Amino acid sequence: MTQNPLLAPVSDLIDYAAVKPGHIEPAITALINESRQAVEASAQTTLAPTWEAIVEPLEDATEKLWRAWSVAGHLNAVVNTPELRAAYNQCLPQVTEFSTWVGLHTGLYEQYKRLKHSAEFARLPAVRQRIIDLALRDFRLGGVELQGEQRERYADISDKQAQASQKFSENVLDAIDQWSLQLNDEARLAGLPDDVRQAAQEAARADGQEGWKLVLKMPCYIPVMQYAQDRELRHDMYRAYSTIASEQGPSELDNSALIEQLLALRAEEAALLGYGSYADLRLETRMADSADQVLSFLRELAAKAKPHATRDLAELRQFGADQLGLSDLQPWDIAFVSERLRETRYAYSEEEIKQYFTEPQVLAGLFHVIETLFKVSLRASDASTWHDDAQAYEVISAQNDVLGTLYIDLYARQGKQSGAWVDSERNRRRHGQAIQTPVVYLTCNFSRAQNGKPALLTHDDVITLFHESGHALHALLSQVDDPGAAAFASVEWDAIELPSQFMENFCWEYKVVQALSAHVDTGEALPRALYDKLLAARNFQGGMQMLRQIEFSLFDMGIHHQAHGMSMGAVLALLDEVRQEVAVLFPPSWNRFPHNFSHLFAGGYGAGYYSYKWAEVLSADAYAAFEENSPPAAEGQPLDTLDAATGQRFLSEILAVGGSRPAAESFKAFRGREPSIDALLRHSGMA
């Protein structure tokens, strides 16, 4: 085999085009062995209790391993093939076992304690003191103080959880990829936008079929639910999507047993470590103090949102009955009726707006916002990528230094997990005078270009792109020289969404929208009259949307704030209880939403989904600083919130500091006070 690209020095960019499934296992095995030796070396009690003797060599070795594993995980998520999946799954137990072994390594734990209690500790920079304190906390939460059988059981639980989460996400991916609906009667497509019809026709042709092939990927599913006049078609698509990876589909893809297994393992892990529930365990590393605090926060928000949601739904029912003859509004009608009501009330459709958000212009507008606020530019790079859809960019400082590399992969395709996310391949790190720059992935699932025209994004897609860019900037603009305090390594989970949700706000400012838009045929920016309609509809059904997020969050806390695991029946019963408490919309009894809830069961958000709402308070309040500091606008003129001075403060107090101090301190340093819920309620139209 040629030289393994996964073993390239961490300082080099990965040659993605050269990575083959056969590279993964040899690289991971070699790097685990190297890392094991480094752990044993750092655990030698003959070493001086210094950062250079204990921590530095350990980081050198493990950084190579985690970079290679990050690459393998990323490829497994975006260009999944049977060979790649097999290679990844072959290594997953080794990686989990190594990670657990390090967390349980008493000798290494004792070294960190020696370092903490040495004279050297007081001389270390504050960020390194924090890294050592967090490491000691994580050792305790990683079971290092367990003995005998409990210790062995903890390692076994860790391995089983990793396997179950991986299988959960595979089942979701396969269930979505395997389902399709072949239509040969064009009349059934009535109402669907032209680009969706065309994509469906091309998908059918690719299978050697006439007609149209509909799938459950978002660029197809969402428009069908919003625009298809055929109610039976909407029902069939809704039923397929809301029973993904459940007992109502192929038995080998049913996630029921995996949900039960994960909840049981998580509860057992918490009990082993002395916690009453998995939620109690997870909250040890969060801004929130307790499950009760989280629950009261969510219920307070629900109380404010529910009257708005009740009104939203009443309007929807009335409109459906009066205008569309739908006297019995069903869940598969909601998106369709909502879109008709939006068109009627605000005199625009999402389809009309979409013609203005061409992907090249949206990216250019996003880069303009980043450059204005943070004084950095993004320059296309010819770095190797894993797919033709992906493009690499260098992040360039005002002094023309390269600060990092960002890979952007925007389109939905077979073998790519649905959703949108950001991950990091390597962190910023100082080696003497040299700086190793961060490398970050930004992944979305938008509709691709057709007919030689640019790809078109909905306004929701634009918001998603801005959201993910906030996560990316958190890693790319870090000034933290030690990876242990990088944003994704140590920012509390319920604050990690602050930069991402903060960036979304700019998508509602007309000055920014002008820079983001260029009509696909005329090149014209979004007209002010159309923008005003979009803005007027900003909080359209905002009450229902907020309650939906609160429902997910309460469900998450409910299933994880238990002393034991739960049966699938009990999980669904608890979901019903949550809905009775806060929801206004009730899906059919056959809906199996938890089976596709990858955030909770495969994405690290277990007992943490409330973070979206928690961080939204922070992000809305942070954005309010930009509103307060923008120059007064002349009457009828848009506000200009792209305030560079406030942007520089946000950069220096939030983005650049990563996890080098508690998130509450960073927020207070930026805002000069504790966070307030007022801005969120105002932005949500609930003030």
Decide if 565 contacts 160 (C-beta within 8 A).
no
Distances (CA, A) of 339 to 193, 324, 457, 571: 13, 12, 17, 32
> Could you please report the per-residue DSSP string of 73-116?
HHHHHHS--HHHHHHHHHHHHHHHHHHHHHHT-HHHHHHHHHHH
Decide if 413 contacts 430 (C-beta within 8 A).
no
| Residue of 660, 661, 631, 657 whose CA lies nearest to 646 | 631
Which of 170, 468, 497, 616 is an active site residue?
A: 468
The residues pairing with 582 across neighbouring beta strands, listed in sequence order, are none
> Could you please report the per-residue DSSP string of 151-219?
HHHHHHHHHHHHHHHHHHHHHHHHHHHH-EEEE--GGGGTT--HHHHHHHHHHHHHTT-SSEEEESSHH
Residue 226 CB-half CA count within 13 A = 17
3 state SS for 326-338: CCCCCHHHHHHHH
The residues pairing with 402 across neighbouring beta strands, listed in sequence order, are 396
Three-class SS state of 445: strand
Separation CA 317–CA 327 (nearest Å) = 7
Decide if 621 contacts 612 (C-beta within 8 A).
no
- Does an H or E element contain 558, and which? helix 542-560
DSSP state of 631: P
Three-class SS state of 677: coil
The residues pairing with 189 across neighbouring beta strands, listed in sequence order, are none
- Does an H or E element contain 427, and which? none
Burial environment of residue 616 by CB neighbours within 10 A (0 to 12, 13 to 18, 19 or more): buried
Decide if 427 contacts 486 (C-beta within 8 A).
yes
Question: What are 409's two structure tokens?
Answer: 């992969």
Question: What are 327's two structure tokens?
Answer: 């006297």
**Alpha helical stretches, state H, 207-288:** 218-227, 231-241, 256-272, 278-282
Question: What are 315's two structure tokens?
Answer: 């309007």
Residues near 538 by beta carbon (within 8 Å), at least 6 away in sequence = 508, 685
Decide if 192 contacts 305 (C-beta within 8 A).
no
Burial environment of residue 195 by CB neighbours within 10 A (0 to 12, 13 to 18, 19 or more): buried
Separation CA 105–CA 109 (nearest Å) = 6
Decide if 199 contacts 447 (C-beta within 8 A).
yes
Distances (CA, A) of 210 to 118, 185, 221, 301: 74, 10, 20, 50
* Residue 468 annotated to the active site: yes
| Residue of 162, 158, 167, 166 whose CA lies nearest to 268 | 158
Residues tagged active-site = 468
